[in-house]
Chain A
């Protein structure tokens, strides 16, 4: 229990008479134009819709994995649903604040990003069915799968950039954790694309490369996105 400090009650109230508005603010007010406030659900729909369309186009362009028909349906469907759920949940947490708040829930987003990233690495290491047409690289050749990391990050780019643009000005605090959440969301979408495209089926590749996409995307987004998010928000209509 904190000690009582009655002396603080002797201090005057926090309020101080403020100065008049400065010249810069007066100049801005003289040309004040209406703006449309942010609509988080619309932002989520836009980011989700465009990102999924982009991911689908990538899968179509790159073709689906050649061992798809030999793999267990439960694994293809369940693991694919998990990747999608990771993307949708993290994008929701990063973009939609709790009711009545302006700032997104960066703490929950950050925690969720860590859980999702570690979850996919673990899941890849533990569950790795293969079928005719699957490729096994093993730990010694895991670095040869770097193309998957690049494809995953390329997929993550769209949701991360769209999300960062949607959040401009909304994150005076917690921007790195929210950015990590956006990055992990993008990485999850990248994982979904890889799940449908990449025929490499060994544990190390699925865990360290496909799961690693989530971690790398989250770290890169945390490092780079705050610079975009903290820039002035557009004052035109949204």
Chain B
């Protein structure tokens, strides 16, 4: 995926819109999965995905020729999610103060528990649903660590680069996430 993404990114920087579409087709499915797990809402995740690629488009001159664009694009997605979560937190704080109803989705801050229902489980639906619910109940940093290292198959170093933290901190987050999941799923295995 890395070599293909690098080639597409170069063609895209050279002004080929088809390369951008191919890059989107290559990366968007996994990015959407990552964002859906983080946001816990498919519609919000789709919005965040569009924002992520818009940011990539506007920052494409920051790309370094020949470099792997995937961690950078994931980091932009990570940042887009964080910005949206903070915006939602502020909106909720405003509701608390002023009694207004925010237009932003409350799911980002854990107000709603909508799962990525489009993602059909492969084996046992009950176990998968329990695993999904347990994963979504983790704090965002632990959830992100488990998603990136387990579901997306990234190394600790790559996950740390995407999340803007140290490999040591990412390892601790992932470990705590696994421990919490093990406790939550104790009776579901």
Residues of B contacting A34 in the complex (Cβ-Cβ under 8 angstroms): 13-15
A5, B72: Cβ atoms under 8 Å?
no
Cross-chain contact of A97 among B59, B64, B118, B182 (Cβ < 8 A)? B64
B78, A173: Cβ atoms under 8 Å?
yes
Cross-chain contact of A2 among B79, B128, B178 (Cβ < 8 A)? B178
B146, A8: Cβ atoms under 8 Å?
yes
A232, B58: Cβ atoms under 8 Å?
yes
Knowing A5-B182, A6-B189, A13-B33, say if A169 contacts B64 (CB, 8 Å): no
In the bound complex, CA of A152 to CA of B13 (Å): 39
Interface size range on B against A: 35 or more
A2, B174: Cβ atoms under 8 Å?
yes
In the bound complex, CA of A5 to CA of B142 (Å): 14
Answer whether residue A61 sits at the interface, using C-beta atoms and an 8 A cutoff. no
Q: Quick check: which of A25-33, A64-72, A180-188, A204-212 contacts chain B, the rest being far away?
A: A25-33
B64, A235: Cβ atoms under 8 Å?
no
- Residue ID in chain A nearest B126 by CB atoms: A10
Which applies to chain B's interface (DSSP): helix, strand, loop or mixed? helix
Chain A 2-26: CB-based contact to B (< 8 A → 1; otherwise 0): 1111111011111111110110110
A102, B63: Cβ atoms under 8 Å?
yes
B29, A18: Cβ atoms under 8 Å?
yes
A10, B122: Cβ atoms under 8 Å?
yes
B131, A11: Cβ atoms under 8 Å?
yes
B78, A170: Cβ atoms under 8 Å?
no
Answer whether residue A238 sits at the interface, using C-beta atoms and an 8 A cutoff. yes
A14, B61: Cβ atoms under 8 Å?
no
In the bound complex, CA of A229 to CA of B162 (Å): 17
Residues of B contacting A119 in the complex (Cβ-Cβ under 8 angstroms): none
Cross-chain contact of A16 among B29, B57, B121 (Cβ < 8 A)? B29
B179, A12: Cβ atoms under 8 Å?
no
Answer whether residue B127 sits at the interface, using C-beta atoms and an 8 A cutoff. yes
- Residue ID in chain A nearest B24 by CB atoms: A21
Knowing A29-B20, A38-B61, A169-B61, say if A12 contacts B122 (CB, 8 Å): yes
Cross-chain contact of A107 among B17, B42, B166 (Cβ < 8 A)? B166
In the bound complex, CA of A30 to CA of B57 (Å): 12
Cross-chain contact of B71 among A10, A102, A106 (Cβ < 8 A)? A102
Knowing A7-B189, A15-B33, A16-B118, say if A32 contacts B15 (CB, 8 Å): yes
Closest 8 CB pairs of A and B: A173-B164, A169-B59, A169-B62, A14-B33, A34-B15, A18-B28, A15-B29, A102-B72
Chain A positions near chain B (C-beta within 8 angstroms): 2-8, 10-19, 21-22, 24-25, 28-30, 32-40, 97, 100-103, 106-107, 167-170, 172-174, 232-236, 238
